[in-house]
């Protein structure tokens, strides 16, 4: 009998072990995946009686952000108190004992009664709150009664920190214009995935979208085009015959910058120069080489007409514009474009050729470098730094410029070797205006193929760089150019879920990344 009981106990033990082995590991729906995650079987129940314990007033904006999210989505509003209660459950927001300048790091520990959020900086606390929000149930409160909802939040212990300092997403509002509210929604997506840079493309050949009070024609003329090409440009292309336009007032921009700031996102405006500037010279032709009659461009590609670097008044014009831009955008960087600048007009322009001789320049490439360096000197005097596409390397890099590498990685590698800061943004796989599948039902795109798995597999730091050179790779960025993206639903379709994949590239430690696990989450 004893032998039978022993055998039964052994079989039961084996069955129990087998059952444990077959139980799948709990996958929390967190993107980007945190640095360390230890799931728990506990559940924290958040109700209107839950308190937010705030012992440091500097974290009040983030506590208010959490409360506003709960009110909007679940009809719950929490009371904020200054000390830990004797009973009930609470969210305790605090700082670590040791503070070493890790402002984006956070810890989140949870049990049934207490949710502890620890962060040194406001940024880290905000990211912790975004992680907490991802753990909340998808079902929103349908009750009209304030505080009626009850949120069951799976518990976990999380230690988290970003991998790169520049985690960027771009949106082109020049080719197609998106409303203030749509831009805010885009910022909400960035915040959810812990991006901290919004690269806002505001000017190009097809439209000038930022109000400059000293030069009103930039928006009355430059923000409008008489029609738009249908499909891909060609000699036989057709046009829709519909006037198109739109711009952001300075009040709009201040509102958007403030909205981004609450989410710890820096807005980097792009004011294109010296190329991609036809909309500007259509409004003020005296700053072009030919001083002719121009129209805001109705097609895509690269216009031959742009700013004249041989004319000193061109620089005064741009300095006036940049002065207003600097006042609108508090971040360190101003993106000055610098890409795809046709130099045909410069070659036949007497003023440009005189500038080449006077400044002892070798050619038009060095003339572009002169142009960029002169703009950089002005922006440095305003406390700003320039960043430009990798063409700004041609003719020599301006002394303090950062480079955004889009034509592959070569430009970024060259700049890093020269000890310049770099943001990697190669067309493959970081251009989200390219096709994301080979399905024939895919909407029109500019071309190229950047599927989700290739975005997820991307490694921003080139292996060819030595350790002391790799430190100049600030991070990477996904770009959404809008020649063929005409409305915001299409922006969402083209950016998602590739934006989510890129967020994990930029946040999650490389050894923690797993594509299959990412898809499940």
Catalytic residues: 204, 276, 340
Contacts within 8 Å (CB) and 24+ apart, 359-366: 361/395, 362/395, 363/395, 365/394, 365/395, 366/395, 366/396
| Cβ atoms within 10 Å of 498's Cβ, excluding its own | 23
Query: What H or E segment, with its residue span, contains residue 508?
Result: none
Answer for the pair 434, 449: CB distance below 8 angstroms, yes or no: yes
Closest C-alpha among 501, 388, 489, 384 to residue 436: 501
DSSP letter, residue 298: -
Within 173-265, strands assigned E span: 197-201, 203-204, 207-208, 224-225, 229-230, 238-239, 244-245
Beta-strand relationship, 402-405 and 385-389: parallel
Instruction: Identify the H or E element spanning 194.
Output: none
Nearest to 53 by CA among 78, 79, 81: 81
Distance between CA atoms of residues 403 and 422, nearest Å: 5
How far apart, in whole angstroms, are the C-alpha atoms of residue 270 and residue 281?
17
Q: Nearest CA to 110 among 73, 59, 155, 164?
A: 155
CA–CA distance, 392 with 507 (Å, rounded to integer)? 28
């Amino acid at each position: 009998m004893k032998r039978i009981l022993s055998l039964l106990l052994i079989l039961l033990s084996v069955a129990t072990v087998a059952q444990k082995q077959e139980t799948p590991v709990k996958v929390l729906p967190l993107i980007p995946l945190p640095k360390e995650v230890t799931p728990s079987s506990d559940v924290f129940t958040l109700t209107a009686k839950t308190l937010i314990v705030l012992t440091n007033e500097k974290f009040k904006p983030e506590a208010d952000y959490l409360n506003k999210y709960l009110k909007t989505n679940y009809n719950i509003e929490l009371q904020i108190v200054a000390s830990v209660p004797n009973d009930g459950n609470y969210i305790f927001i605090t700082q670590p004992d040791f503070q070493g300048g890790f402002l984006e790091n956070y810890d989140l520990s949870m049990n049934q009664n207490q949710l502890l959020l620890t962060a040194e900086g406001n940024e880290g606390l905000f990211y912790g709150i975004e992680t907490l929000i991802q753990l909340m149930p998808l079902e929103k409160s349908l009750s009209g009664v304030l505080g009626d909802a009850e949120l069951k939040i799976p518990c976990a212990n999380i230690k988290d920190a970003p991998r790169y300092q520049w985690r960027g997403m771009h949106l082109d509002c020049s080719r197609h214009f998106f409303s203030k509210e749509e831009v805010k929604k885009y910022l909400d997506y960035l915040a959810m995935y812990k991006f901290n840079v919004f690269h806002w493309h505001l000017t190009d050949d097809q439209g000038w979208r930022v109000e400059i009070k000293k030069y009103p024609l930039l928006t009355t003329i430059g923000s409008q085009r008489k029609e738009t090409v249908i499909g891909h440009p060609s000699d036989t292309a057709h046009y829709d015959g519909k006037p198109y336009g739109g711009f952001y007032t300075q009040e709009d921009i201040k509102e958007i910058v403030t909205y981004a700031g609450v989410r710890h996102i820096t807005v980097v405006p792009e004011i294109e120069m010296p190329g991609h500037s036809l909309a500007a010279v259509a409004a003020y032709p005296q700053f072009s080489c030919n001083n002719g009659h121009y129209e805001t461009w109705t097609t895509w590609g690269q216009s031959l007409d742009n700013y004249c670097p041989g004319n000193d008044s061109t620089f005064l014009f741009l300095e006036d514009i940049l002065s207003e831009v600097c006042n609108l955008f508090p971040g360190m960087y101003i993106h000055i474009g610098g890409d795809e600048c046709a130099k045909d007009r410069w070659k036949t322009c007497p003023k440009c050729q005189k500038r080449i001789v006077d400044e002892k320049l070798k050619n038009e490439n060095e003339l572009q470098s002169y142009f960029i360096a002169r703009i950089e000197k002005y922006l440095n005097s305003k406390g700003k730094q320039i960043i430009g596409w990798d063409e700004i390397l041609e003719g020599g890099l301006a002394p303090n410029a950062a480079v955004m590498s889009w034509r592959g990685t070569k430009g970024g590698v060259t700049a890093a070797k020269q000890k310049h800061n770099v943001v990697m943004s190669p067309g493959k796989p970081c251009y989200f205006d390219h096709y994301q599948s080979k399905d024939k039902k895919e909407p029109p795109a500019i071309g190229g193929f950047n599927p989700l798995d290739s975005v997820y597999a991307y490694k921003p730091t080139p292996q060819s760089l030595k350790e002391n050179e790799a430190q100049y790779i600030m991070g990477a960025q996904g770009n959404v150019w809008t020649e063929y993206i005409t409305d915001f639903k299409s922006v969402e379709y083209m950016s998602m879920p590739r934006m989510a994949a890129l967020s994990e590239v930029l946040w999650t430690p490389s050894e923690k990344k797993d594509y299959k696990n990412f898809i499940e989450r």
